[in-house]
Amino acid sequence: MERRRRRAVGLVKRGESPAEVAYFLGCGRSSVYTWVKADREDARKLAGRPNAGPKPRLSDEQIEELEGLLLKGAAAHGWHNDLWSAHRVAEVIRRRFGVEYHTEHARKIIRRRLGWSSQRPQLKAKQRNEEKIAH
């Protein structure tokens, strides 16, 4: 976007009409005028800015509360075992905060905002005898 803005300003400075520049670059004529004015005031205004993206639907306080809920275990929330899956986390978020997330997005929240890693429970043989192993 920055390159497009600077090119528009350069073309206008060389004598092209803003209407022709807008048509050539595929933008609105008012945008060209805005870019030329911004360049006159401060050329740094034409610089591209990173897009921060949408505001998170769960605040930092809610994420902390979610972590506390998850630390209680899945059984405390009505599941038959204590294993968390992204689907279960999404369901807890929906129940507690009224925000619906896709399962994969719930997985990203677990990983990025909570800093938790995906782990699978270690399988142990049912006939395992801890006393014999300790002996």
- Residue whose structure tokens are 């009224």: 98
CA 43 → CA 34, 66, 75, distances in Å? Answer: 12, 45, 59
- The CA angle 127-133-81, to the nearest 5 degrees, is 45
Q: What is the pLDDT along the chain (135 residues), one digit of tens a residue?
A: 889 999 999 999 999 999 999 999 999 999 999 999 999 998 888 888 888 888 899 999 999 999 999 999 999 999 999 889 999 999 999 999 999 999 999 999 999 999 998 887 777 777 888 888 888
- Indicate the pTM of the whole model: 0.58
The full length of the chain comes to: 135
For residue 65, which of 116, 117, 119, 114 has the smallest C-alpha distance? 114
Round to whole Å and give the CA distance between 91 and 101. Answer: 8
Helix axes 60-71, 86-97, angle to 10 degrees: 120
Domains in the chain: boundaries: 2-46, 60-113
**What's at 44, amino acid-wise?**
R
